[in-house]
Amino acid sequence: MRTLLLLLIGCFALPALAAPPLDRLTLPKGFHVAVYADGVPDARGMTLGAKGTVFVGSMDAGKVYALTDTDGDGRVDKVRTVASGLDLPVGVAFRDGDLYVSSVRRIVVLRDIENHLDAPPKPEVITDQLPYKSGDHSWKFIAFGPDGKLYVPVGAPCNLCDVGKAFGKLMRMNANGSGLEDVAYGIRNTVGFTWRPGSNELWFTDNGRDLLGDDVPSDELNLVRRVGEHFGYPYCHQGDVADPQFGAGHPCSQFSPPVFKLGAHVAALGLRFYEGSQFPAAYKGALIIAEHGSWNRTQKSGYRVMVARLQGDRVVGYQPLLDGFEQDEKVWGRPADVQPLPDGSVLVSDDMVGAVYRVSYRP
C-alpha cells in the first residue's frame, strides 16, 4: 500500500539492485565520491533548477526525473518522475521556471515545474519540426546559451554517411520554438556542449566514427568560433584523418580541427566548466568531461570522468577525476553527464547503474 501511495503522488524510491561499488573508484587526493541518488533508471543529461532541483533525462526509460535533497545532507531523499512515455528524452534544460525536454522529433516544456513536482503539468510541444531520419544518434542533449536560445543537435543517422547539411549539425531556436536555424556543421554526434563562463564560447564533444580500427579516429573537443563553421564529418576525422570513403576532394584543411583529441572510442558525452570554490584552485575554469566508454574496441577505453585544463583555447592537461568504472575489461558503470552544484561539488550521472554520484573535496 505504501508503494502504491508513493507512486500516486509521483514520487518513488526504488532500491538499487546492488549498491554501486564506489570503493573501486579512484580520485585525486582529497576528493570523495558518494551516491547522490539511486533509483534513477537510465540517468543521462542533467540540469539544475532555480530552487536546487536536479532534473535528469533518460534514454530507453522514456522518463524525466526530479531529484530533491530537502535536508541538504548531500543525498537525495526524493526521486520523482515528472514526465514519462517520451521518446529518448535524454536532454533537459531549465529556464525561467520551465523545464525543456528533448525528444527524437520534438522539444517539449513543463511549465513552472518546481512548483508542481508532485503534480507535474502535461508537456507542451514547443516544436515538432526537428530533422529526423531513422537510424543512429537521434537522441539529443539540449542547453540554453548565453544568447537565450535553446541549442539542439541533430546527429548523423548512421555510423558514416554523407548527409550534407541536413544532419550532423547543431541548431538553435528561440524559447518558444521559433527562429530555428543552423549553427555548425560536420558534427557526427554531440551529446554534450557548454559555454565558457564570461564569454560566448561554445565548446562541445563529438564522437568519432566507428570501424576504422581501435585507435582512429579520436573523439573530439571542439570550439565554435563562428556561425556556419564545419568540423569535418564525414570527410575528415579528428582534424587530420581523411575518410577512406568520403574524403576524396575534401582536404582536412577545409575544416575546423578539434581543440583537443580526447581518445578513440571513449564516447565523450556531457561536459561543464568548473567555476566552484570547493575544489582546489587548479580546477577553476577547467572542463569536466564524462567519458561513457567504448563499445567496439579490442581493449576498452573511456569509462571515467576527466578534467581538461585550459590555457586560452589550448588544453594543457587532461587527467582523471573519477576513474575505475571499468577494470580488467569488466564494466560496472558508465558516466553520461556532469553537473556542478552551487556548493562546488559535482554530480555525475551513470545510465548503466541508474544512479547519480556526488564528487566533493575535503582536504
Segments forming the whole domain that contains residue 194: 2-361
Asked if 237 and 250 touch (Cβ cutoff 8 Å), the reply is no
Instruction: Look at residue 303 and give its three-state secondary structure.
Output: coil
Percent of the chain with pLDDT over 70: 95
Between CA 356 and CA 121 the distance in angstroms is 25
Residue 166 CB-half CA count within 13 A = 9
Give the pLDDT of residue 15: 41
Asked if 180 and 173 touch (Cβ cutoff 8 Å), the reply is yes
In the block, residue with C-alpha cell 508542481: 116
Local confidence band at 200 (pLDDT 50, 70, 90 cut-offs): confident
Give the pLDDT of residue 317: 98
Amino acid, res. 61: A
Strand (E) or helix (H) holding 2: helix 2-8
CATH of residue 195: 2.120.10.30
Q: What is the pLDDT of residues 108-146, one digit of tens each?
A: 999 999 999 999 999 999 999 999 988 889 999 999 999
Give the pLDDT of residue 11: 40
Expressed in angstroms, the distance from the first to the final Cα of the chain is: 45
Predicted model pTM: 0.94
Check residue 105 and report its DSSP letter. Answer: S
Q: For the chain, state the CA radius of gyration.
A: 20
Mean pLDDT of 216-230: 97
pLDDT of 8 strictly over 50: no
Asked if 153 and 167 touch (Cβ cutoff 8 Å), the reply is no
Between CA 247 and CA 229 the distance in angstroms is 18
Residue 129's nearest CA partner among 93, 154, 95, 146 is 154
Kindly report the average pLDDT of the chain as a whole number.
94
Q: What is the pLDDT of residues 36-84, one digit of tens each?
A: 999 999 999 999 999 999 999 999 999 999 999 999 899 999 999 999 9
pLDDT of 193 strictly over 80: yes
Q: What is the pLDDT of residues 292-304, one digit of tens each?
A: 999 889 999 999 9
Q: What is the pLDDT of residues 292-351, one digit of tens each?
A: 999 889 999 999 999 999 999 999 999 999 999 999 999 999 999 999 999 999 999 999
Residue 337's nearest CA partner among 58, 6, 49, 111 is 58
What's the total number of domains in the chain? 1
Local confidence band at 242 (pLDDT 50, 70, 90 cut-offs): very high
Residues 6 or more apart from 23 whose CB is under 8 A from it? none
Strand (E) or helix (H) holding 108: strand 107-110
